[in-house]
Amino acid sequence: MFESFAQFIVSFLPITGQFADIVEYWIYNNLKIIFILFLVVFIISYLRTYFPPEKIRDYLKGKNAVFGYSFAVIMGIISPFCTCSTIPLFFGLVAAGIPFGIIITFLFVSPMINFAAIVLLFSSLGVEITLAYVVGGIAVAVLGSFILTKMKMERFLVGFDVKMDQNVSKEQKITKKERLKATYQDGIETVRQIIPYVLFGVTVGAGIHGLVPEEVISNYLSGAFSVPGAVIIGVPVYTDILGVIPIAESLVNKGLPIGTAVAFMMSVAALSLPQFILLKKAMKKELLFYYGVTLSLGIIILGFLLNFFFGV
């Protein structure tokens, strides 16, 4: 549907050849991603109205570690869709007194994996790469969280005062109208924050798709150092996971190894400098350092494993 519409639009433009292909790619991917974004954001935003941080804290009381980690992974996947909204929710979880292992697992998962990214990856790169990305990301998150918990890194969390609304009890029910209003406001704000990153990512991806020869990818972006190189390159690039997927798709189609592409996507989404600046409000430098090192090493190891698994 979107591809046919993109072709229809391009047919009316005074362009041909390579440039027409680039414009068609740009229109098609923007339409597809924005449609997925709107659909998923509003569904997830509605579900999230049932799970304020204090309710999550009370629900997790008395649960075992396996349940807690599993819940954190699910919460991360259905969480907000970019750092700008993930970090405030992380602060809320810290303030609510939720156990360290759970909140740090959430922080690992949330920027890297969300439901919209899963749908987009599946439509762009297929089921095998999507499964590798999701399962690998969860493994990095759980193992990283386990390591930091064993190191007793929770002592380096900065304390927050829990500020609950005294006028709202746990038993109080909000109306369907109020829930839909909250969903609309949260959804619109989330989409507004993410769309610029989508446009940026699709524009870069369209340029790679139409202008970068395959030989450049095979000669300069492959080899033993491609995975750590991709992580280093990804750190200063500040965009949402939905914005980096079109770039990764174009690179993979040009011959970039799967593991290298996954490492690049994860580093852009979870290791951005703005995220670490924001996290300084909740973490002392010791925790911030070990969080970054653990996540970076996990992504690099996963990248090498995926390259080996996919035959690179």
Sign, CA torsion 28/31/32/34: positive
> According to DSSP H, which parts of the chain are helical?
2-11, 17-48, 53-60, 65-77, 83-95, 100-112, 115-125, 127-150, 176-211, 214-220, 226-234, 241-253, 258-270, 273-279, 285-309
Mean of the per-residue pLDDT values for the chain?
A: 80
Q: What is the pTM of this model?
A: 0.77
Collapsing DSSP to helix, strand or coil, 246 comes out as helix
What does the pLDDT look like over 148-203, one tens digit per residue?
999 999 888 876 444 433 333 444 567 777 778 877 887 787 778 778 877 887 88
> Which range, 1-5, 126-130, 274-278, has the best average confidence (pLDDT)?
126-130
> What integer is the mean pLDDT of 20-26?
88
Q: Which residues contact 7 (CB under 8 A, 6 or more apart)?
A: 24
Residue 279's pLDDT band, with cuts at 50, 70 and 90, is: confident
Distances (CA, A) of 176 to 11, 56, 179, 183: 45, 20, 5, 10
CB of 260 closer than 8 Å to CB of 217: no
One DSSP character per residue, 89-140 reads: HHHHHHHTT--HHHHHHHHHHHHH--HHHHHHHHHHH-HHHHHHHHHHHHHH
Distances (CA, A) of 102 to 95, 98, 163, 197, 276: 13, 7, 20, 28, 19
What does the pLDDT look like over 34-81, one tens digit per residue?
888 788 778 777 777 776 666 776 676 666 778 888 888 888 887 755
Nearest to 260 by CA among 272, 269, 251: 251
> What integer is the mean pLDDT of 232-255?
80
Report phi then psi at 36, rounded to 5: -60, -45
Strand partners, 157: 283
What does the pLDDT look like over 239-248, one tens digit per residue?
677 788 888 8
Q: Does residue 295 have a pLDDT over 80?
A: yes
Collapsing DSSP to helix, strand or coil, 157 comes out as strand
